[in-house]
Amino acid sequence: MATYKQLLAEKEKIEAQIVEVRATEVAGVIEKIRALMAEHELTADDLAPKRRRGRPASSEKAAAAPKAELPPKYLDPKTGATWSGRGRAPAWLGKNRDKFLIPEA
């Protein structure tokens, strides 16, 4: 049975072989890629995906149909300002929303 030190020495030899074989294989693969790129007249920009940032562009359907406005639920009697209840609440609404609620007709 092999000792711990012998196994470590074998491991180091095998790891060195792995690094060497990988380097030669990678060099061959790179050469093949370069040959194919030259044959088909490709550049590195052709291979790299285009990076897009932000929200994807909307489809034409979504752009053509604007969202319908919601009827107001709250009214400020001093200024006449209204709020539909969606989005950030206006400052004039305060904590007690009931006193600004528009009665349903």
CA angle, 67 then 72 then 78, to 5°: 135
Question: Measured between alpha carbons, how far apart are the two ends of the chain, in Å?
Answer: 93
Domain map (residue ranges) of the chain? 4-47, 60-100
Percent of the chain scoring above 70 in pLDDT: 90
Q: Residue 11 has what pLDDT?
A: 96
Whether residue 90 contacts residue 81, with contact meaning beta carbons closer than 8 Å, is answered with yes
Digit-coded pLDDT (tens) for 35-83: 999 999 998 888 887 777 777 766 665 556 677 888 889 999 899 999 9
Q: Residue 60 has what pLDDT?
A: 62
Q: Report the alpha-carbon distance of residue 87 to residue 72 in Å, rounded.
A: 12
Q: Residue 25 has what pLDDT?
A: 97
Whether residue 84 contacts residue 72, with contact meaning beta carbons closer than 8 Å, is answered with yes
